[in-house]
Amino acid sequence: MEKETIKITGMTCAACAARIEKVVGKMEGVDRISVNLATEKAAVSYDPEKTDLDAIKEKIEKTGYSAIEYKEKKIVDEDRQQKEKEIRTLWTKFIISAFFVVPLLYFAMGPMIPWLSLPIPAFFDPMHPLNYSIMQIALTLPIIIAGYKFYTVGYKAIIHRSPNMDSLIAMGTSAAILYSLYSVYQISTGDADAVEGLYFETAGVIITLILLGKSLEAVSKGRTSEAIKKLMGLTPKTATVIRDGKEYEVSIDEVEINHIIFVKPGGKIPVDGVVSEGHTSIDESMLTGESIPVEKKAGDPVYAASINKNGTIQFKATKVGGDTALSQIIKLVEEAQGTKAPIAQMADIVSGYFVPIVFLIAVAASLGWFISGESLVFSLTIFISILVIACPCALGLATPTAIMVGTGKGAEYGILIKGGEALETTHKINTIVFDKTGTITEGKPIVTDVITANDTEKNTLIQIAASAEKGSEHPLAEAIVKEAEKEGIEVLKTDSFEAIPGHGIEAEINGIHVLLGNRKLMNDRNILTAELEAQSDILAAEGKTPMYIAMDQKIAGIIAVADIMKESSLRAIEILKSMGLEVAMITGDNRRTAEAIAKQAGIDRVLSEVLPQDKSNEVKKIQAEGKTVAMVGDGINDAPALAQADIGIAIGSGTDVAMESADIVLMKSDLMDVPAAIQLSNSTIRNIKQNLFWAFGYNVIGIPIAAGLLYIFGGPLLNPMFAAAAMSLSSVSVLANALRLKGFKPYFGG
């Protein structure tokens, strides 16, 4: 299956998105399509052997919309300019319509409010009905011209049998204008009483208020995608490339892999690469959210858009264009913003039938009132009010806007959420399973204790152990060698070396016979360990790995090595437990060591001696208990378990964002981002529910009031102008509520 993103213009409400999904979804070869009203993009998955992108775009255009293939950065720049132009155009149209609607409202409503005593020129007084009506036509025409798109788009949608919000506005205001024109005709034939049937100001105010609502909506929608715009704006436009010892400034698009790039202090890194010369510290907060600069020397990686703080460096380009870590992050965030959460399904279903149902309700209600004896003007007011107050926009914007802001906010914190479904499922999690090595712990064992016996010097013990282990690739051996380097102890040459699988090693160093390994190795070689066994047991109970060292058949001491816990692990686990979540740890370590680490971390459930390939089965067993499970691992050897879990959370450096098996990628190796991700999910889903409640509630309450429900019980009849104001307010309020998520901050108590 091929996956493509298509930019769609011309959509005005959820009914438009639902129509495109329905029409394209029926095409042969199209597996699925998801249209996002807020981003104006469609994510399409299709079989290239049965259809192609051109056919899909053609189908969208036949439905009444414009479709173009989405090419990341170029289109994003164009998209930004287009959005700014759209906002300017809408504001201009609103200002023009407001300029004409104020006098229109003044002349139309002034005579109806005698106590205001508004002065009206005699020539335009209602006592001269023809002049009065022609003046209203003259003021209404510019307003209709300013809002002409409601008519062209609305009636075009009806012709394509996919009526939308514009169709409702077009039909409602057209009814008011046509009835008013009929009244003008009656006036021209001498019927002065027909002046009571002029509804030009209703149409004018409706169009003006909806243009205001659309302008505010466009501004708010622009703000929901600020996170992606910020990411896009981080990459520098040029790079300084070194060729034949000379510096050349070139466009970022001209940089190729293996080019040597020069960056001065304060400059931005243009592409991903590896330092070849120089030493500096680099601010990688744009990538990881971590504000402390990272020291870089030859051989260290650097990433596009990070800031070189204080040194001059040269580096070799390894990834350019769309392959850089930043580009991958942008792609992930964009894909996430384009997806739908399952919670949106009900809104999608309703949106597909919304406009036709509203039209039927409007016709039925107005006919009902007319048949019951009310006047044609009364029935027309009901018809217009129902059409104008109904708002499919609020339904269509409720979910995508919250997801856009939520995923964008996550990216700011270094939390990449790969879609609406992942965002929604995360808030249902009740059990979190942590991989131990590299997740709860640093993943880099260090020497924690050195215990000597038989008058052996501490430095001598480290020297002999490090010399013996120099030839081993085991992580524990590496820890001992690093300890010797740290202490400045010389490593001796090994005369002979033999690894004893499952036990340890045997070596000859300067004529000394050395054994280094576990207690079983010592027992097999008849070396007495009694004087150190108690201390060895204490070390093991603390989650450390004690290694006995014997020289010339005599016990010389113990070196204990441990993979130490990350500073943030204890606090993160404490917070997760305070949130009511069950926390478990999974590891290949023996039960004793695993339980010691778990005890330190405050974890109650331990899954020990689990091979990497069996981790997914352990996750499956927990799911069989009816739990919704999140698996937190390093995204490499934990891939099967991450895929099996309801939510896979990959914790890493932020550069390996291609961790396909994870639903959430934490770009910092900080477990505090796990509760932060869950809190963000909770806040976003709560926001979506508020939006949907408001959108559904608004229509459920607004439409019956517009149909005259209050009037039946002696209350007022809803004026179409107030209906228009309420409709505009509904979309803006949904967007404003979604934008509240921009203020999200993780709460860790204290």
Is 435 a residue of the active site? yes
| Runs of H (alpha helix) within 307-344 | 325-338
For residue 162, give both structure tokens.
């996919």
**Residue 656, pLDDT above cutoff 60:** no
**502 and 552 both lie in a single domain:** yes
pLDDT at residue 450 tops 50: yes
Give the three-class secondary structure for 239.
Answer: strand
Q: Are residues 213 and 81 in the same domain?
A: yes
- Report DSSP state, residue 249: E
Q: For residue 655, what pLDDT is reported?
A: 40
pLDDT of residue 120: 67
Q: Comparing C-alpha atoms, which of 240, 413, 426, 421 is closest to residue 341?
A: 421
533 and 453 fall within a common domain: yes
pLDDT at 291: 60
213 — pLDDT class (breaks 50, 70, 90):
confident
Of 70, 92, 108, the position where a domain reaches its end is 70
Q: What pLDDT digit, counting tens, does each position of 581-630 carry?
A: 999 998 877 787 788 888 888 898 998 888 777 888 899 999 999 999 99
Q: Whole-angstrom Cα distance, residue 397 to residue 412? A: 22
* 500: β partners: 504
Q: What percent of the chain has pLDDT over 70?
A: 89
Q: Compute the distance between CA of residue 481 and CA of residue 489 in angstroms, rounded to an integer.
A: 9
- The answer to whether residues 240 and 249 touch, using CB atoms and an 8 Å cutoff, is yes
Q: Tell me the angle at which helices 475-487 and 458-469 cross, rounded to the nearest 10 degrees.
A: 130
Q: What CATH number did the domain enclosing 31 receive? A: 3.30.70.100
For residue 361, the number of C-alpha atoms closer than 13 Å in the C-beta half-sphere is 24
Residues 635 and 642 sit within 8 Å (Cβ to Cβ): yes
Kindly write down the DSSP assignment for every residue of 549-561, as one continuous string: EEETTEEEEEEEE
Among 272, 435, 634, 670, the one annotated catalytic = 435
237-260: average pLDDT = 89
Q: What is the mean pLDDT of the segment spanning 119-126?
A: 65
Output the pLDDT for position 371: 94
Domain that holds residue 491: 446-562
Position 675 scores a pLDDT of 94
Q: What percent of the chain has pLDDT over 90?
A: 18
Q: Which CA distances in Å does 725 have to 208, 391, 554, 705, 722?
A: 9, 11, 92, 14, 5
286 shares a domain with 165: no
Contact of 324 with 304, CB cutoff 8 Å? yes
User: Is the domain of 511 the same as that of 453?
Assistant: yes
Label residue 418 exposed, middle or buried (CB < 10 Å: 0-12, 13-18, 19+).
Answer: buried
Confidence of residue 288 (pLDDT cuts 50, 70, 90): low
- Where does the pLDDT of residue 16 fall: very low under 50, low under 70, confident under 90, or very high at 90 and above? confident
Task: Please indicate, yes or no, whether residues 136 and 262 belong to a single structural domain of this protein.
Answer: no
Tokens of 256: 């190729």
User: Is residue 113 located within the same domain as residue 218?
Assistant: yes
| Type of residue numbered 153 | V
Task: Give the model's pLDDT for residue 658.
Answer: 35
Measure the CA–CA gap between 64 and 526, rounded to whole angstroms.
Answer: 88
Domain final residue, candidates 33, 49, 70:
70
**Is 676 inside any structural domain?**
no
d(CA 427, CA 140): 51
On whether residue 551 sits in a domain, the answer given is yes
Report the run of H or E that residue 432 belongs to, with start and end.
strand 431-435
CA 664 – CA 423 distance, rounded (Å): 9
Helices and strands (H and E) in the chain: how many: 25, 26
Residue 179 shares a structural domain with residue 268: no
Highest mean pLDDT among 264-268, 543-547, 639-643: 264-268
pLDDT-based confidence at 366, cuts 50/70/90?
Answer: very high
Q: Which residue has the higher pLDDT, 443 or 100?
A: 100
Looking at residue 75, what is its pLDDT? 47
CA distances to 93, 98, 266, 349, 371 from 87, rounded to whole Å, are 10, 16, 35, 30, 45
**Phi–psi pair at 553, nearest 5 degrees:** 70, 15
Domain boundary residue, one of 51, 70, 89: 70
Mean pLDDT confidence for 407-421: 83
Say if residue 244 is in the same domain as residue 170. no
Same domain, yes or no: 201 and 173: yes
- Considering the domain boundaries, does residue 650 fall inside one? no
**pLDDT, position 657:** 39
pLDDT of residue 580: 92
Q: What is the mean pLDDT of residues 485-498?
A: 87
Q: Please indicate, yes or no, whether the overall pTM of this predicted structure exceeds 0.85.
A: no
Q: What is the CATH number of the domain that holds 270?
A: 2.70.150.10
Contacts of 152 by beta carbon, 8 Å cutoff, 6+ apart: none
